[in-house]
Structure 1
Amino acid sequence: MAGGASDPPRRGKYAALLDAELWDYIDNVNSWYPPEIAASPIAEQRAVYNRMCVAFHQGRPEGVTTSDGLVATAAHAIPVRRYRMADKAAAAVVVYYHGGGFVLGDLDSHDDICAEICAGTGFEVVSADYRLAPENLHPASFDDAFTVFEWVAATSALPILLSGESAGGNLAAAVAQATRHHPRHAIGQVLIYPGLGGDESGRSYIEHADAPLLSLADIDFYRRIRSAPRQSADDPTFSPLRDQDFSSLPPTVIVTAECDPLSSDGEAYRDKVLAAGGRAVWREEPRLVHSFLRSRASVPRAAEAFARIIGDIARLGTSD
């Protein structure tokens, strides 16, 4: 467990920077999912992570209905969960990809977040349960993310938005880039503290290399465990920031946390989209850490940031 109240020196420069409520959240996460679990078998890591997600689950807002289904491929089926408001016709559909480092997570781990996005926007949300590493190396997760987009495009007449957090933000960006010329291309994307394969000599990678809940060592672990042999660092479906063309992307919002080594990825992605003539906004939420969405029930800063994210999705889904 990362430095608790009885061990303030381990909090270092973050001791005073982060609010007490956020430290309570960080300590709670580390009590459920301690850093040393990275040495445990993947099955055990997933079991512990899933128990933590159950403990943090906030329930679904009133009026949200769900239905589970499968998207068939030639080799396997991809589980999906659709969220709708029972009493309201949706103006758009959000395809959402969960976080978890491409190793953890499923339809249940981010269920309440998807339900709250549905309730907050009135939009349908389709959550995709893509294949995980290390059993399924890249491009398995991307292929599933792409397939779910194509399935939504083929089965729904609603405008499509792409969104996801952390690893899911990577997938949303990669799908947006791969489908930019699709007849049903996304009308917007909202990327939440995404890992986009940015330059690790960048500002946040250096300033927050040892940030709570996600360190540079963690990022390296997740990248290596996902990589196929001879994985190209320049593959844009693996590292969207390595693409050579950022034109024709949908209007984009990238939201990052100040105390997260990945924050510079959001800044760099915004700059590349703007340089290519697109529309993009990057917002770095102050004094927050990676995974802050899960703290929204107890940390006012996180609740406010999540409300802004819901507002971003709502605006992109209703703009011309």
Structure 2
Amino acid sequence: MTIDPEIQSFIALSEAAFPPDFAGLAIPQQRACYAALCRRFAGQRPQGVAVRDLVAPGPAGEIPVRLYRPEASERPGVLLYFHGGGYVFGSLESHDTSCADLAAGSGAAVLSVDYRLAPEHPFPAAVEDARSALTWVTRNAARLDLEPGRIAVGGDSAGGNLAAGLCFWARARGAPALAGQLLIYPDLGLPFDDPQRCRTADAPGLSRADMRHYHETWLGSPGTDDPAAAPLLHRDYAGLPPAFVQAVQYDPLRDDAEVYVARLQAARVAAWLDLQPGLIHGYLRARGMSAAARRGFAALVSALSGMVGHSAVISAG
């Protein structure tokens, strides 16, 4: 593997953050290790972004959400964001600076969703929370001084799954059209034995064994026949929102991204695959130490700006 040298240093630091017996630890202890790793690489929030903690109503009670609003943007569009973490890890804190940086760079607001996690809350809990959050922000955008007509969905890894699934759900309901989907190395449910999943079965940051474990924890088995848990099980891709899907070279989920974009394009949906060389799953945390990671993140910022941020405002005006 010709992994970017600075990413190799990131890998070493990341691996050192987890104890050798990590897989055998109780879930709360695993989450504490993951949270510590995220803090290790978090950095500081950028200037010029107002941050508010709010709650949205959900099927099992209130869902914590965090709104990042660029202070210089007047009535911005918004990205509804779902963090990664294998459906088991992650929180508003784990992706705090990533969301703040997305907002600062794009001119779009970002609304991060603290959905319920497995194994305490297996499928479909996270999906239900995602749907509730989209319903809430759609109804309350104007009250939050956001532009109701410019709502996009996005997320990384497991969060990319939830975001993509929302696009099918919103289309089925005849809901107002979403402005776009911003998916970052998404897990979209390509079967483990699919012949198209062949290039990078194991890579630093994520292995196929990791994926099986996360899927079993979330779904009860490594596979599913429910499109609500695996967007690639859908057959009809027509009428979905425009998509910017970023994949990285060394990642077993690279195939999910490539297959999804190909199906969207075949259905005449505007879709772009951004394959970043030399990077691994979870590279977002490496922005402070890797130029390649910063370039990958800059591509996301540019795409979000075009969907609901600065560029969208300019083209609309």
TM-score, scaled relative to structure 2: 0.91
1:40 match: 25
Q: After the TM superposition, which of the residue ranges 147-156 and 34-43 deviates more from structure 2?
A: 34-43
Gap change, CA 1:163 and 1:206, over 3 Å in 2: same
For 1:113 and 1:197, the matched residues in 2 are separated by 24
1:32 is displaced (CA, Å) by: 1.0
Q: Do 2:59 and 2:132's aligned partners in 1 also have CA atoms closer than 8 Å?
A: no
Query: Greater relative contact order (Cα 8 A, min sep 6): structure 1 or 2?
Result: 2
| Alignment deviations for residues 134-179 of structure 1 (CA, whole Å, 9 cap, x no partner) | 0001000011011101100000142101110000000000011111
2:215 corresponds in structure 1 to 223
Alignment deviations for residues 84-117 of structure 1 (CA, whole Å, 9 cap, x no partner): 1223214311100000000000000000000001
Write the distance in 2 (CA, Å) between the matches of 1:245 and 1:234. 16
Contact 2:57/2:136 (CA < 8 Å) preserved in 1? no
Checking the alignment, whether the CA contact within 8 Å between 1:204 and 1:261 is kept in structure 2 is: no
Match of 2:168 in 1: 177
- Indicate conservation of the 8 Å contact 1:99/1:166, yes or no: yes
Q: Percent identical across equivalent pairs?
A: 38
3-state SS in 1 of match to 2:67? strand
Aligned partner of 1:273: which letter?
A: L
Q: How many residues end up aligned between the 2 structures?
A: 304
After superposition, residues 1-320 of structure 1 pair within 5 angstroms as 14=1, 17-34=2-19, 36-157=21-142, 158=147, 159-180=150-171, 181-201=173-193, 205-228=197-220, 233-317=224-308, 318=312
Range with bigger deviation, 178-187 or 59-68: 178-187
TM-score (structure 1 length as normaliser): 0.91
* Residues 45-95 of structure 1, C-alpha deviations (whole Å, 9 max, x = no match): 001111111111111100111110111235311000001122321431110
Q: Structure 2 regions of 5+ residues with no counterpart? A: none
SS of match in other structure, 1:179? helix
Q: Measure the CA separation in 2 of the matches of 1:310 and 1:203.
A: 33
Query: How far off its partner does 1:202 sit?
Result: 5.2
One-letter amino acid of the structure 2 residue matched with residue 91 of structure 1: P
Please tell me the residue identity of whatever aligns with 2:102. Answer: I
Q: Is the 8 A contact 1:90 1:123 kept in 2?
A: no
Please give the per-residue CA displacement for 1:190-222, whole angstroms capped at 9, x wherever unaligned: 100000011334577433222111000001000
* Cα distance in structure 2, aligned partners of 1:183 and 1:300: 40
